[in-house]
Amino acid sequence: MGFMAGKRALIVGVASDRSIATGIAEAFAREGAEIAFTYQNDKLKSRVEKLASRLGQNTDLLFPCDVSSDDEIDAVFSGLSKSWDKLDVLVHSVGFAPREQLEGGFTNAVTREGFRISHDISSYSLAALAKAAQPMMQDTNGSILAMTYNAATQVVPNYNVMGLAKASLESCVRFLAADLGPQGIRVNAISAGAVKTLAAAGIGGFRKMLAYAEKSAPLRRTVTIEEIGNTAAFLCSDLASGITGGTTFVDAGSNIMGMVFDED
């Protein structure tokens, strides 16, 4: 029996077979969890449907959810509560900044609107989803997981205002963990190394970043969505019952390096 048997999970953030959320869903399914999904818009619905059926999940438990809409967030949980009386696990794997925010120097790129949107979609949405999920997560030993990136604390060129949004997201994880801990709900983040997903496609210099990680990470490679999924399954299972409020790196060790010398 898998170590997530009996757990019911809602996963927010599947957009393709390469999504980190897809790696998380695969690990959850393998470990015996039941999974419901949201999709951002109609364009992505069929992809999420295919994933749910590939993983042997109930394809009726798919809900549209643009996280910038409180109404859509509320509709997810009123829909879900018609089929499930409780929710054990909530996964947030969503990040967005308007593309022009991710190009060039921070000072020049940042705008009031770019800042607002990136913080709304990438950070506030975790609080909003946790708030809406809370009634269904009572008395479950539940757990909430968000995806972050090391540019929350260390400067990465071009990541710009997304770095500020990830810093806010990590703080949100701590405030939620402190607030929901007395109800037995744990809240954690995974800080993943760079992975080639849709959100990474078309980012200037992304291939160079992957090549840099392959040269400089202690493990001399990048990470896979399977490895991130396995850590997510652990953190959201009862195996991690003593862990809350923290950020776990799944980055082949990159975050420990203060300086890297060229080997050739």
Report d(CA 75, CA 69) in Å as an integer: 10
| Measured distance CA(137)–CA(145) in Å, rounded | 13
| Under rule CB under 6 A, residue 216 binds ligand NAD | no
When binding is defined by CB under 6 A, the residue of 5, 155, 198, 211 that contacts ligand NAD is 198
Q: Which stretch binds ligand 0WE (CB under 6 A): 17-25, 85-93, 134-142, 193-201?
A: 193-201
- Per the document, the length of the chain is 264
Q: What distance in Å separates the CA atoms of residue 40 and residue 229, rounded to the nearest whole number?
A: 21
Q: Which of 94, 97, 152, 233: binder of ligand NAD (CB under 6 A)?
A: 94
CA within 13 Å, CB half, 173: 29
Per CB under 6 A, does 116 bind ligand 0WE?
A: no
* E strands, 17-133, in order: 34-39, 62-64, 89-92
> H or E stretch including 169?
helix 161-180
* Contact range with ligand NAD by CB under 6 A, out of 75-83, 171-179, 188-196, 255-263: 188-196
Q: How many residues bind ligand 0WE (CB under 6 A)?
A: 15
We find the least distance from the C-beta atom of residue 98 to ligand 0WE, in angstroms, to be 6
Decide if 159 is catalytic. yes
**CA-to-CA distance for 37 and 25, rounded, in angstroms?**
9
Nearer to ligand 0WE by Cβ, of 33 and 161: the residue is 161
Nearer to ligand NAD, 24 or 180 (CB): 24
Which residue lies nearer to ligand NAD by CB, 200 or 243? 200
CA–CA separation, 179 vs 250, rounded Å? 26
> Alpha-carbon torsion 32, 95, 165, 157, what sign?
positive
List the one residue from 12, 15, 162, 252 that touches ligand 0WE (CB under 6 A). Answer: 162
Q: Check residue 155 and report its DSSP letter.
A: -
Coil, strand or helix at 126:
helix
Active site residue 124: no
Site for ligand 0WE in 227-256 (CB under 6 A): none
Residues that bind ligand 0WE (CB under 6 A): 95-97, 99, 102, 149, 156, 158-159, 162, 194, 199-200, 203, 209
Residues designated as active site? 149, 159
